[in-house]
Structure 1
């Protein structure tokens, strides 16, 4: 009997030790999977990938500081390149990407009106000039009757290009045309130029085939066109409708976790490091705009 009691006691002790050990292991695992004492999650729990749609290789440079800063936040910012302005909003609306950053406010609104996209601006980025370039002329004053000037064929960039031609003294637009004038809104030609509408992404390569062309900033940079080579520089830079932006799906913003991540993306871009790239890498070609507007504020 005494021997049986001793065995029973030893067995109970072993079982107790095993139970305590199991509880200790569970507690340790739970601690790793939950927020730390500082309130931060572990790296494995916090890491998230955000796909950002862009148009043009320059965005790799523009977003590099933000991409590096976001790593410390556990966010892997993946840039997805598109070759035109039509696809990125469709890809965003369909959930193929999480955000995009390539367009200004007028273009976004036109896309929403045309396609019913449920997407919206969550942060301003910059404004870039829409300059007039030529392989054949050294000054806008050299343009004459019969010369061909190419502009983007999309409504918003084409409208802005017409405003550039007006500011350059080549045409006069109907003042009621607002921000989206078309060729039909030209009320007077001060110089009898022929305006040819082309896809924005092909205009730089077609520059030798026309007398001059209004070239979107990102494509101008991709093709090595420097702002000081322009025969006329865009001077309309303080209009908010022409500010570029970061867009997200409206439905995603209803998720507090996603909204918090996207807010970090916006703040990472709107930084002194990004502005340094504007100035040092691109000679001030890009100008920060609207960084004081918190578009994600509740």
Structure 2
């Protein structure tokens, strides 16, 4: 065996032992990584800010972007995601009732008041008799849309249905408006064919609609039950890594980004 080979092996062994004693370079701990499901667009932009905050604390957030609401809870339940952040409590409650998911909320993120838009009338009161109105076709956002219309005097719904009325629960409809239940992501594309529609804020912003200047009516921002949150599997809710995740979002850098970029259309919910 040559002297060079022996020396090289001894050096490698010593380096390995030193690395074992010190851990990663500089004594820093290896970053924890979690896969987080979000809706693409503005929510993802906000999470990019939280991701930078998290990285400073040794948490690597891998953002997995979705284009609709139907998949992130299924992916979380199956273990394809570690957490998701896209929904409010009425939506999760309806998903749990329908699919039996064992998913819980661990920390609030944002609130984005839903609003009504129209390309055909300039004021909500100008909706004509027999108007065709689009609402989301999922139970929670469909109910949310109906409650918005009720709050502005267009219809009345059964009081005992709480936040989840359906079109079958409409008890008073003086203008005889007709409802079209449509996938929430597709409503902005169909708005020109409707007299008006209730559109979730993330999809409205993605379509170039401004809740501040284009909405005819909008939910109140105070006392709003539709604050979004981070959700995880129930068995994981007490893991320390998720406390880091919540803290990374509920951070002043994130709040400042939301307030500067969305002018009240989206607001911090913590």
1:217-296 alignment runs, 5 A limit:
217-227=201-211, 228-235=213-220, 237-240=222-225, 242-253=226-237, 259-289=239-269, 291=270
1:35: Cα distance to partner?
11
1:26: Cα distance to partner?
6.8
Partner of 2:82: 98
Partner of 2:194: 210
Corresponding residue SS for 2:218: coil
Q: Cα 1:26–1:127, aligned 2, differ >3 Å: closer, same or farther?
A: closer
Partner of 2:60: 76
Q: Give, in whole Å, the separation in 1 of the partners of 2:259 and 2:236.
A: 33
1:25: Cα distance to partner?
5.9
Corresponding residue SS for 2:63: strand
Q: Cα 1:188–1:72, aligned 2, differ >3 Å: closer, same or farther?
A: same
Q: Give, in whole Å, the separation in 2 of the partners of 1:93 and 1:177.
A: 28
Give the gaps of 5 or more residues in structure 2: 1-10
Corresponding residue SS for 1:158: helix
1:1-298 alignment runs, 5 A limit:
28-33=18-23, 42=28, 45-227=29-211, 228-235=213-220, 237-240=222-225, 242-253=226-237, 259-289=239-269, 291=270
Q: Cα 1:23–1:219, aligned 2, differ >3 Å: closer, same or farther?
A: closer
1:237: Cα distance to partner?
4.3
Larger radius of gyration: 1
Q: Give, in whole Å, the separation in 1 of the partners of 2:15 and 2:25.
A: 17
Aligned length: 260
1:191: Cα distance to partner?
2.0
1:27: Cα distance to partner?
5.6
Runs of at least 4 residues of structure 1 off by over 2 A?
A: 21-31, 33-36, 251-254
Corresponding residue SS for 2:87: coil
Corresponding residue SS for 1:102: strand
Give the gaps of 5 or more residues in structure 1: 1-20, 292-298
**Contact 2:135 2:142 (C-alpha < 8 Å) held by counterparts:** yes
**Contact 1:128 1:217 (C-alpha < 8 Å) held by counterparts:** yes
Structure 2 length-normalised TM: 0.89
CA RMSD between the two structures: 2.2
